[in-house]
Amino acid sequence: MNSVELNDIVVNYSRRGSGNPVVLLHGLAEDHRSWEAVATHLGSFTTFAVDLRGHGRTTAGQAAGTLSQLSDDLIMFLSAVSGPAAVVGYSLGGTIALRAAAVAPGLIRHLIVVATSSVVGSAAARFFEGRVAQIEAGDWAGFAAGLRNDTSQQIITDAELDSVTASRMAATGDGRGYVNAARAMVGIRSEPLHPLLARITIALDIVGAEGDVFCPRRASDLIADAALHSRFHEIAGAGHLLSVDQPRAYGELLARLLRESEAR
């Protein structure tokens, strides 16, 4: 593992493989380990799997609860560590990457967003606010039960639910990163990303999961409608947690999209 001090946080990340750089951004209640089964298919690239602010072993710093701060974290990592790179963002990570691509286009060469939303509705905002309230009240039993239920709805295969939930709880740590990211997602209810998406001029691949009830096809369509140069791809037999349901199909698709981008 590697770490680097960037602004007010110490960022933890793994580096593997060789070739052109690819930065991997995980989702809410995850860390760099969520990429392990997927990254095995990306050996022809140098991958940097980053723990987001307050997740895994990355410190929370002066968490502002905004998408702009999280995207600034990514921009700083690209500037200081990986250099200009392709970026793959899953769920929360995809939302962060969309904003970074809009405001710092020279640092992201190719963007792949997976199971990602660019706007948050009232039901999703209430969901995030409810999980934040549990953490802030110290109701860890309630939060753990809620996260297990959330996870069960994000998997459609026979994956081991308790093991996946335990990994997500470990990645959540003391909860500050979860609270920070959840507040950032709530913030795009009042300030959706759509006005910024037309500024993304690089190649944008949008990946959805056939059985995703958290980010259904409509979420991908909204991004595609607002962005200029996008393509949609769907992975069959997967719910929101694609890396759990279909890691091989997911990894092979990412490898193909990254190779195609290099050839253009």
Q: List CB contacts of 249: < 8 A, sequence separation 6 or more.
A: 235, 236, 237, 238
Residues in the chain: 264
pLDDT at 264: 73
Other CB atoms within a 10 A radius of the CB of residue 174 amount to 10
Q: Which two tokens stand for residue 203?
A: 């190649």
pLDDT at 19: 94
In whole angstroms, what is the distance from residue 92 CA to residue 34 CA? 13
**C-beta separation of 25 from 150 below 8 A:** no
CA quadruple 249, 255, 261, 264: dihedral sign: negative
Structural contact between residues 164 and 36, judged by C-beta atoms closer than 8 angstroms: no
Res 236: pLDDT: 97
Check residue 72 and give its pLDDT. Answer: 97
Task: Give me the phi and psi of 98, to 5 degrees please.
Answer: -60, -45
pLDDT of residue 212: 96
- The pLDDT, as a whole number, for residue 191 is 83
pTM over 0.85: yes
Question: Is 13 in contact with 47 (CB distance < 8 Å)?
Answer: no
Question: What pLDDT is stored for residue 190 in this prediction?
Answer: 85
- Exposed/middle/buried for residue 238 (C-beta within 10 Å: 0-12, 13-18, 19+): buried
Query: Per-residue pLDDT for the chain (264 aa), expressed as one digit of tens each?
Result: 899 999 899 999 999 999 999 999 999 999 999 999 999 999 999 999 999 999 999 999 999 999 999 999 999 999 999 999 999 999 999 999 999 999 998 999 999 999 999 999 899 999 999 999 999 999 999 999 999 999 999 999 999 999 999 999 999 999 999 999 999 999 998 888 888 999 999 999 999 999 999 999 999 999 999 998 899 999 999 999 999 999 999 999 999 999 998 877
Please give the C-alpha separations between residue 88 and each of 7, 121, 176, in angstroms, as whole numbers: 23, 24, 24
Nearest CA-CA partner of 13 in 4, 247, 80, 132: 4
* Residue type for position 64: A
**DSSP secondary structure letters along 3-44:** EEEETTEEEEEEEE--SSEEEEE--TT--GGGGHHHHTT-TT
Q: Given this model, what pLDDT does residue 259 score?
A: 95
φ, ψ (nearest 5 deg) of residue 254: -60, -45
